Structure 1
Amino acid sequence: MKLFLTLPLILSCIFFETAKAFKHKPAVVLVHGAWVAPSFWNLTAERLRADGYNDIVITDFVSGKITNPPTSTHRDDVALVQEALKPLVRAGKEIIVVMHSYGGLVGSDAIEGFVKKASYGSVGGVIAGVYSTAFIVEPGKALSDYFGGSTPAFIVPDPQNPAYVNVDNPLDILFNDFTDAQAAKYLPDVRPAAAATFGSKAQYAPWKDIPCSYIATALDKAIPPALQKSMYDAVQGQSLRKWPFYEVGGGHASAISKAANVAKLIELADSK
């Protein structure tokens, strides 16, 4: 009798574990920040692929390429990220959007209209947002609002085109925890950013619709740890649920210097 009672339970456990093993992992869209190239995410992407995340898209920006006239707002970059989301949603993919630095402004607005709606029976869509040392910009605010209405001293006009800005001493501000070999590899990829993107205002708060998490960096000189925490604290009361707050010991570009750690924390957004 006991055999007949326990056999269905055993079979259900086997089925559950098998289903977990064959569960399709979500797609991951990686949105980098200002001044860096898409290669910023390469090491993290490699780690994710090694863990079975095969659908990875690394987006790029218009605002990081000098044009005439210059890109006026972050909305041009939002459009590019949304173009990356569209085919994934059409293919029925669940998506985690991972954002870094300025990419927090861009990625947040790009998620609007792409959230997975279970109540509507949709299969594909964004299911989580991960802010990796990223700005959490509330609707109606701009990046400059988080620096007292101006720009930090390390941001300087591009000498060739004042409509763009550069990082003064990127080795110290962006790559302060890098080895010499890492710095030599990534410094050539540093590029200008459109100055006007720092004044364009956010329009959407994805944290009201999807679970989000934050990866903080203790050695960051571009977004100081205190600012990271204050942005995080400011949105907890208006979020779908309280965000996990993780910390890694790296600088601003921890997706390179701490790629293994960052990848594992991204994967936690898939632990449903």
Structure 2
Amino acid sequence: MSAQKPTAVLIIHGGYFLPAAWNAFSDRLRQAGLVVQCPRLPSCGDERPPTAAIKHDVAAVRKAAQDLITLNHCFLVLAHSYGGMVASEAIRPDLYASNGKGVVGLVLLSSWLVQPGDTLMSVIDKYGFQCKVDLGNNGDGTVFAKNAPESFYNDIELTEAEELAKGNVTHNWLAASAEISGAPWKDLHTTYIHCAQDLAIMLPLQQSMVQDAVNAGGRLTIKTIDSGHCPFLSQPETVIGIVNEVMENVS
């Protein structure tokens, strides 16, 4: 338990997104007096053919975390979708809270929760491709969502969903297929938020990954939102409520 309430949130966005997708949500947190960092993951919307791998995403997150530590913040890490894989690699013990600054907890928002030694593909091999995203392949190492309005924003009115989808980008498939080596959810206060209507990482798959983490020694708190893949857009106040609750529990 931390003796200090978190003063910041480090957001790790998903694979087909950019930080701009989180702007409205981040502004709400800032209005509540929190400092917010949401670094761009280089593998998202990368050059074609892509040049960035998961190690570059990890470096971007670790730099943002170090910047917060330099400013004496203790903070939560909020990771969405592919961002959960980046969190597992980036949030190492050297970033854990010490002397009132550093990472005090994780919030995994319908994220990939891959065991050390495994990959996203090994999880899919184990549980099946429980996903309604129609992936397009550019043939250069990048993939994209052909049906983003329906698969990412199925709980948002269609006209708005189509507008949001214009902000989605390509992702470097090799970044998403990397082997994971870290498991900060074994050490840190971790909350996993299930998105019950998610069509990108469907609920049974979310539940299976969480159960695997529990079986591996993770002590996860579970919350559920009746939403699609992006409740930070469709139900931001609900997500913020959970973030606030986590902050109280780790302080």
Partner letter of residue 158 of structure 1?
Answer: N
Distance 1:114 1:43, change over 3 A: farther
| Number of aligned positions between the proteins | 245
Equivalent residue number for residue 133 of structure 1 = 110
Change (3 A) 1:181 1:153: closer
Distance in 2 separating the partners of 1:153 and 1:198? 17
| Residue 237 of structure 1: how far off its partner (Å) | 3.8
Provide Cα deviations, 1:204-247, integer angstroms capped at 9, x if missing partner.
1001221100111111011010011111111124446x321111
Task: Give the residue type in structure 1 aligned to 2:57.
Answer: D
Take 2:49 and 2:107, find their aligned partners in 1: how far apart are those partners? 32
| Runs (5+) with no aligned partner, structure 1 | 1-19
Structure 2 residue 117 is the aligned partner of structure 1 residue 158? no
Amino acid at match of 1:134: S
The CA distance in 2 between the partners of 1:197 and 1:185, in whole Å, is 27
Please name the residue that 1:47 is paired with.
28
Where in structure 2 are there 5+ consecutive unaligned residues? none
SS where residue 166 of structure 2 aligns?
helix
**Structure 2 residue matching 1:212: 3-state secondary structure:** strand
Alignment-derived partner of residue 63 in structure 1: 43
Residue number among 164, 171, 174 corresponding to 1:186 in the alignment:
164
Cα deviation for residue 158 of structure 1 reads 3.4
The answer to whether the 8 Å contact 2:97/2:104 transfers is: no
Question: Residue 212 of structure 1 contacts residue 243 of structure 1 at CA under 8 Å; is this kept in 2?
Answer: yes
75-84 or 173-182, larger mean C-alpha shift: 173-182
- Find out whether 1:94 has 2:74 as its counterpart: yes
| Structure-1 residue corresponding to 2:226 | 249
Which SS does the other structure have where 1:108 is aligned? helix
1:85·1:114 contact (CA, 8 Å) conserved in 2? no
1:153, distance to aligned residue in structure 2 (A):
7.1
2:101 aligned to which of 107, 116, 124? 124
**Does the CA-based 8 Å contact 1:33-1:103 persist in structure 2?**
yes
Provide the secondary structure at the position in 2 that maps to 1:227.
Answer: helix
Q: Which runs of 4+ in 1 moved over 4 A?
A: 149-153
Percent of pairs with identical residues: 25
- Please report how far the alpha carbon of residue 69 of structure 1 lies from its aligned counterpart in structure 2 after TM superposition: 5.0
What TM-score, normalized to structure 2?
0.89
- CA drift of 1:198 comes to 2.6
The match for 2:151 among 155, 170, 173 is: 173
Q: Deviation per CA, 1:1-44: give whole Å up to 9, x if none.
A: xxxxxxxxxxxxxxxxxxx9xx7642100111011121222232
What whole-Å deviation, never above 9, does each CA across 1:117-159 have from its counterpart, x for those lacking one? Answer: 54xxx33211100001111111111111221178667353433
